[in-house]
Chain A
Amino acid sequence: MSESNQRAGDRAAVERALKAAGGGIDLERLNRALGARADRDGLIDVAYAMVDSPFGEMLVAGTDRGIIRVAFPHRRGTATRGWDALLGQLADVVSPRILEAPERLDEVRRQLDAYFEGRLRDFSVPLDWRLTKGFQGKAIHQIARIPYGRTISYAELAARAGNPRAFRAVGTACGANPLPPIVPCHRVLPSSGGVGSYGGGPDMKRALLELEGALPPELR
């Protein structure tokens, strides 16, 4: 064997040996232990979890103030790509100390499950409103007051938010709702008929209204 071949062989042997050394360690287990320690030390500013729902996998995120974001599965493409932008927004608005920490979100996950199964009417988790602002924020707070099983029109919502002529802006506000279905923007309908648009798609909006027994007869 030539000297340079020998050298290359040595390098390969060292590389193989060093890369093999950690082969038996379960990285998942280390990451879980890290998450638990980070939580104990108060180092998770935003915790998030993936949650199964009848409409696909949802993302739920919370801070020390409360639930800050619930997001529906993307209607197009794979879901995970869609979450990146959303988590990036949370990093900018709240803190980049964002970790997947499902155990921090047990309560809201339980309530979402119960809601989707028709066993829960009103959510009782604290909410963090930092992703809402301005007139949209006002509209979103008004949406939060629409009771289970009831619907209002965009025009009515605009009036309640303090500007009856701003029904286009309230439409945008519904689209920007960071907390569906806890903040029930599915209970806002166009007065022109139809269910209107929804972040999780019109079929999901229809299904939620049906679940609540609030789907207007003409839309059945």
Chain B
Amino acid sequence: MATLPPFQELLDEHSRDVLGFLVASVGPHEAEDCFQETFIAALRGYPKLEHGDNLRGWLLTIAHRKAIDHHRAGQRAALPSGSAEEVGGGIGASDQRLDSAGDEEIWTMVSVLPPKQRSSVVLRFATDMAYRQIGEMLDCTEEAARRNVHEGLKTLRGELT
């Protein structure tokens, strides 16, 4: 059996990050449910984990899955035939000065980015994750992760419309 630290340690060290990631992904209200789902799922699987390397990444991977589930459920409810890409294409009518936009405005724009861009932007800016790790988490190369963040920022500025 692997040597794993007490679960409380994970909670103490990473719950703020996980919450930050979820808030940035699904919004402050829904984040609370996703937060509990994330840690309950983690707790369930924890004793079966093969090693204790990069537990923060492991938690954020679970949180990312919960956020995706949440987005899917939300889309089914709100946009029966739509996709995030179509919604994402509608933002940023003209060149935007992001540094003059309000926090909530930016968050709303991020929330409707295409999924890969949204996840990459959130991981990069809400949890300061390195591109290599973002790639590992989203199952793409470091370069693709960097590109997703870049494209995400371009979309936010309205350069892709």
- Identify the A interface with B (CB < 8 A): 6-7, 9-22, 24-25, 27, 30-31, 33-34, 37-38, 41, 43, 45-46, 48, 84, 87-88, 90-92, 95-100
Contacts and interface: CB of A to CB of B under 8 A. Distances in A.
B36 A27 contact: no
Given A9-B98, A21-B103, A43-B44, A34 B126 contact: no
B47 A20 contact: no
B6 A10 contact: no
Interface of B is mostly: helix
Interface residues of B, number: 45
B106 to A, nearest CB: 4
Contact of B43 (A22, A43, A92): A43
Interface of B: 3-9, 11, 15-16, 19-20, 22-24, 27-28, 31-32, 35-36, 39-40, 43-44, 46-47, 97-99, 101-107, 110, 121-122, 125-126, 153, 156-157
A45 B8 CA distance: 12
B43 A38 contact: yes
A91 B2 CA distance: 10
A30 B107 contact: no
Given A14-B153, A17-B103, A100-B8, A27 B46 contact: no
A215 to B, nearest CB: 37
